[in-house]
Amino acid sequence: MLYKSLSSFPVFEVERDYDKCIVCGCCVQQCTFDATYYLPYAKKVITDEHKCVGCKRCEAMCPTGAIKVRAVTNEFKHNAYWDARTIRDIYKQADQGGVILTGGGNDRRFRVYWDHLLIDACQVTNPSIDPLREPMELRTFLGRKPDALEVEYNEKGEPELKTKIAPNLVAEIPVIFAPMSYGALNLNMHKAMAAAADAMGTYWNTGEGSLHRDLYKYGHCTIVQVASGRFGVSAEYLKVAAAAEIKIGQGAKPGIGGHLPGEKVDEEISKTRMIPVGTDALSPAPHHDIYSIEDLRQLIYAIKEATNYEKPVSVKIAAVHNVAAIASGIARAGADIIVLDGFRGGTGASPAIVRDYVGIPVEIAVAVVDQRLREEGIRNWVSIIAAGGIRNSADVIKAIALGADAVYIGTSALLAVGCTLCHKCYTGRCAWGITTNDPHIAKRLNPDIAAERLINLLKGWAHEMKEMLGLMGINAIESLKGNRLRLRAIGLTKEEMDILGVLPAGEGI
């Protein structure tokens, strides 16, 4: 089209059935990428496909079902090596130079280890349990567990626990909403996650953009983050929370910092993050006071001091090649929880090349970290949270069987409230009202509806997890933790199975 680079080809087709279009204008009003517009003389609505990002908002909203948004799959001559995305990326960079930005999580065709793991079930010799008839426990304690329990007897001869138990989080379902900052998300989404976590007896995580004052009332189910930018970190912020988390890295962009552009820093975000309105919120790549495990220990204990040793402190890292040794260091530095964020983890904005090719899968990270900590005899010092690409309740069960204590869900939570993974979060124009701070577009996310949908999702997963535990003959999720014998691998190499610590399908115990 006119005024466009010769090498820009539309990625989506917007097919409008004019026999069904009643020209109500809804699609025009809802398209936040200005792709759809009204032709007054023709009395017709049309779409400039060059601008369409494939968010499917118009398709979802059209009252007569007149719209179909489809990805163009045959835009270039078929080539198994130079696929369309590769070609387009080269065109884009040749046009403009610069780094290609994206949102969301790694969507490349790497092996999905979850899909190569199968769950065991009881037959004949070991009875399964019916979760609808018998109690089934999903409650999970997150934090340091003592090496041993000491009991003493009081004057009446009754046993009393002598060991002081470290503070633990108690989650009624081992699924926690992942850190996604206020700024990247809008306040409506934070409200929804907080309300849903509260209702379900689990937790949500603020991400690095601090906690809005209105949400202090949810402190008891909130994990607050302390990241390299230290946005909005205050004694009160730490005290109001259930736990604090030091964010070292993010699965979608290990080793790089964050950047919330100044345009997005409005009055409320500025107050919450404690930075001036309109200034860029820059998170340095490393914490400039953490260059070693000893430095990390100092920050962990600074937070523990500030919170009177009443709250667990978590450390979140991206899953990278040396993850097991790093995790061991983190455990020894005094963390109570370690979060491993795999390379499928999402982001509001990241260079695509980093999102797609840096880091390792969380399945592997959990397995090697759990193994390493067990070998060193310090597995009980920390809880492990698996993050980055948890898609359903089976992934949760498998993560726990591989050695995690709980999981974070970010992308799944966004999907639950409407996200279509268009990966345009970094534009701030999210048509579903999730990753936008434009006051008008953000209204599209009604926090009440969003909270209900998140609660439904967790309820559905909880039912399914109980079903799966029951069929394995287990009545408490804690008994599944690290029980890799209940998993079998299919289609993996010997090395992969060794690393994951699972036997091949067909091999009994």
Partner 1 sequence: MNARIKRVYPIEENCMGCRLCEVACAIEHSEFKDPLMAFFNGRPQSFTTVEVNGATTFSLNCRHCDEPYCVEACITGAMHKEPDGRVIVYEDICVGCFMCVVSCPWGAVNPKEGAKKAAKCDLCPDRELPACVQACPNRALVFDTTEGLIFELPEEEEEPFVEG
Give strand pairing partners of 14. 69
Cβ distance to ligand SF4 smaller for residue 21 or 378: 21
Cβ distance to partner 1 smaller for residue 11 or 23: 23
Out of partner 1, ligand SF4, none, which partner does residue 29 contact, by CB within 5 to 8 A per kind? partner 1
- Let me know: does 420 contact 435? Beta carbons within 8 Å: no
Residue 52, Cα to own-chain centre: how many angstroms?
26
Report, in angstroms and rounded to the nearest whole number, the Rg of the chain calculated over CA atoms: 24
Q: Does 443 bind partner 1 (CB under 8 A)?
A: yes
Stretch of 258-266, 291-299, 394-402, 436-444 lying at the interface with partner 1 (CB under 8 A): 436-444
- Let me know: does 274 contact 199? Beta carbons within 8 Å: no
Q: Using CB under 8 A, which of 12, 14, 30, 177 touches partner 1? A: 30
Rounded least distance, CB 440 to ligand SF4, Å = 11
Q: Which string of x and - marks every residue 87-106 that binds ligand SF4 (by CB under 6 A)?
A: ----------------xx--
Q: Does 22 bind ligand SF4 (CB under 6 A)?
A: yes
Q: Using CB under 6 A, which of 434, 441, 474, 477 touches ligand SF4? A: 434
Max intra-chain CA distance, the chain:
94
Q: Does 433 bind partner 1 (CB under 8 A)?
A: yes
Cβ distance to ligand SF4 smaller for residue 328 or 420: 420
Q: Using CB under 8 A, which of 448, 485, 491, 498 touches partner 1? A: 448
Out of partner 1, ligand SF4, none, which partner does residue 444 contact, by CB within 5 to 8 A per kind? partner 1
Cβ distance to ligand SF4 smaller for residue 354 or 441: 441
- Let me know: does 216 contact 241? Beta carbons within 8 Å: no
Q: How far is CA 508 from CA 8, 486, 505, in A?
A: 55, 10, 8
Q: Does 64 bind partner 1 (CB under 8 A)?
A: yes
**Any residues with CB less than 8 A from the CB of 322 and at least 6 apart, and which?**
none
Rounded least distance, CB 281 to partner 1, Å = 23
Q: Using CB under 8 A, which of 98, 135, 276, 439 touches partner 1? A: 439
Rounded least distance, CB 424 to ligand SF4, Å = 4
Q: Does 29 bind partner 1 (CB under 8 A)?
A: yes
Rounded least distance, CB 444 to partner 1, Å = 5
Q: Strands 204-205 and 222-226, how do they pair? A: parallel
Sites for partner 1 among residues 285-324 (CB under 8 A)? none
Separation between Cα atoms, residue 431 and residue 129, nearest integer Å: 45
Q: Does 68 bind partner 1 (CB under 8 A)?
A: no
Q: Does 202 bind ligand SF4 (CB under 6 A)?
A: no
Residue 350, Cα to own-chain centre: how many angstroms?
15
Stretch of 54-62, 140-148, 305-313, 398-406 lying at the interface with ligand SF4 (CB under 6 A): 54-62
Q: Using CB under 6 A, which of 317, 349, 425, 469 touches ligand SF4? A: 425
Ramachandran quadrant class, 65 (left: phi over 0; alpha: psi -120 to 50; beta: rest)? left
Rounded least distance, CB 420 to ligand SF4, Å = 5
Separation between Cα atoms, residue 277 and residue 267, nearest integer Å: 6
Separation between Cα atoms, residue 330 and residue 299, nearest integer Å: 12
**Any residues with CB less than 8 A from the CB of 63 and at least 6 apart, and which?**
22, 24, 26
Q: How far is CA 294 from CA 306, 318, 329, in A?
A: 18, 19, 9
In 3D space, the residue among 142, 275, 272, 277 whose CA is nearest the CA of residue 215 turns out to be 272
Rounded least distance, CB 433 to ligand SF4, Å = 8
Separation between Cα atoms, residue 282 and residue 263, nearest integer Å: 13
Separation between Cα atoms, residue 213 and residue 222, nearest integer Å: 13
Please tell me what DSSP assigns to residue 62.
-
Out of partner 1, ligand SF4, none, which partner does residue 104 contact, by CB within 5 to 8 A per kind? ligand SF4
Separation between Cα atoms, residue 442 and residue 435, nearest integer Å: 8
Q: Which residues bind ligand SF4 (CB under 6 A)?
A: 14, 16, 21-27, 30-31, 33, 35-36, 45, 47, 52-58, 62-64, 66-67, 69, 103-104, 414, 419-425, 430-432, 434-435
Q: Which residues bind partner 1 (CB under 8 A)?
A: 19-20, 22-26, 29-30, 61, 63-64, 433, 438-441, 443-444, 446, 448-449, 460, 463
